Amino acid sequence: MPTIIDVTELSQRLAAGKRTVLLDVRWVLGDPHGHAHFRQGHIPGAVYVDLPTELADPAEPARGRHPLPPTRTFQEHARAWGIRDGDTVVAYDDAGSTAAARVWWMLRNAGLRSVYLLDGGLRAWREAGLPLAQDEQEPAPGDVVLGQGQMGAVTMAEAADWPEAGILLDARAGERYWGELEPIDPRAGHIPGAVSAPTLENLTPEGKFLPPGILRARFERLGLRPESKVAVYCGSGVTAAHQIAALEIAGFQAALYPGSFSQWSNHTANPVATGPGPWDAEDRADPDNTGAAAGVARMPSGKLSSAEGSVEA
């Protein structure tokens, strides 16, 4: 199934009266006011999804900042959003799908097939001149039955061994990977053997995913091949899901490490590496200038940064 849907296709689908569950997942690290933003304007018919409480268990050091909730709990939330078996679901946010990808991954992992990210999110909807609503409706309860294990998830122990036989991608900003900046987790750096692959580099300046060919070339430069075993982590299992969506667009499959660095760094026995990785700095060539296409600025140190780095989790 396709990973993304554009605003034209979505608006036509809604105008035709085709049943579509719209999930507004506005959330960024450091901004707890997603619901208020939703009330100020959202796609008509959308349901607000609170990422910290509906897409995660409470934070605890042993499991990370956004542990995956039990399937039964997630199913209760999905039914409260009105999802029925066989429904088409479209998730969006206002941060390049970096938050919406969490519910996309969770629903796909639970066995739903027709789940999409709105490419460009709320910004693209607004720029297309499409209407916004400010009302908040309670949908009729759904009856969806959720499973688990359809997308692949790895444990902390598996993440430790992953670089020996596969590729472990770190979706956070380069500064966090290098260990020069850590705004929230107890230790700075990265899982030894991981490859830095900031997920914001998968986007255009407008917050849309880069074309499949450019994404594929980017991941190939990071060492990925069709036969590669790939896993992804970030700070807490949120933006890693965004990286997995970009990988899927590029034709690669990848597993998620849900605990991510917030879990890893809280276990003091786990080693943490700092400094450049195998594809950083001078070794990280960009012959097609995809970094520039993605609106990413190369810093004097050779690391990659972005003005939107605060959205990552």
- Active site members: 234
Nearest alpha carbon to residue 10 among 110, 100, 116, 86 = 116
CA-CA distance, 210 to 38, in Å (whole number)?
26
Residue at 68: amino acid letter: L
3-class DSSP string for 233-286: ECCCCCHHHHHHHHHHHHCCCCEECCCHHHHHCCCCCCCCECCCCCCCHHHCCC
CA-CA distance, 261 to 243, in Å (whole number)?
15
Secondary structure letter of residue 228 according to DSSP: -
C-alpha dihedral (184, 190, 195, 200), degrees to nearest 10: 10
Nearest alpha carbon to residue 20 among 41, 47, 42 = 47
Kindly state the helix (H) or strand (E) to which residue 59 belongs, with its residue range: none
Return all residues near 242 (Cβ < 8 A) that are at least 6 apart: 96, 97, 98, 101, 171, 199, 202
